[in-house]
Amino acid sequence: MDKIYVTGMAFWAYHGVFEEENKLGQRWYADVTLEMDTRPAGENDDLDATVNYAEVYERVKEVMEDEQVKLVETLCERIAARLLSSFEVAEACTVKVIKPDPPIPGHYESVAVEIRRTRNR
């Protein structure tokens, strides 16, 4: 299966278990991979036969910035569901949500959750 990647998407959002996270917000990043047959688009130079990357970004942005949840796992599930329902040509998607500054003690670069979901046909 061919893959389309949209990576390093950055957002400011208000997710988290703690009240401060919901009030102050924080940086978030997301990477998505859509699995599909890109041959029809590539052979015919036809945007309608593939996914529009700008629309992928907008769907992820809607979930990241317009909804508020506690868990990174929930963000991943909602993004995957939104992408699969928005892009009929996608057979599967992988979603990785990165939280670079969670309010936990220690030295680390980030925490992240990654899921892969397939279309139920």
Reported as type and span, the H/E element at residue 108 is none
Whether 99 is catalytic is yes
Q: How many domains does the chain have?
A: 1
- What CATH number does the domain containing 37 carry? 3.30.1130.10
Q: Determine the average pLDDT of the residues in 85-109.
A: 93
Give the domain extent around 11.
2-118
Q: What is the pLDDT of residues 18-61, one digit of tens each?
A: 999 999 999 999 999 999 999 999 999 999 999 999 999 999 99
Could you tell me which of 73, 45, 50, 64 has the C-alpha nearest to residue 3?
A: 50
pTM recorded for the entire structure: 0.94
Beta-carbon-side half-sphere exposure of residue 48 (alpha carbons within 13 Å): 1
Placement of tokens 């278990």 in the chain? 17
List, in sequence order, every beta strand (DSSP E) within the chain: 2-13, 26-36, 92-99, 111-118
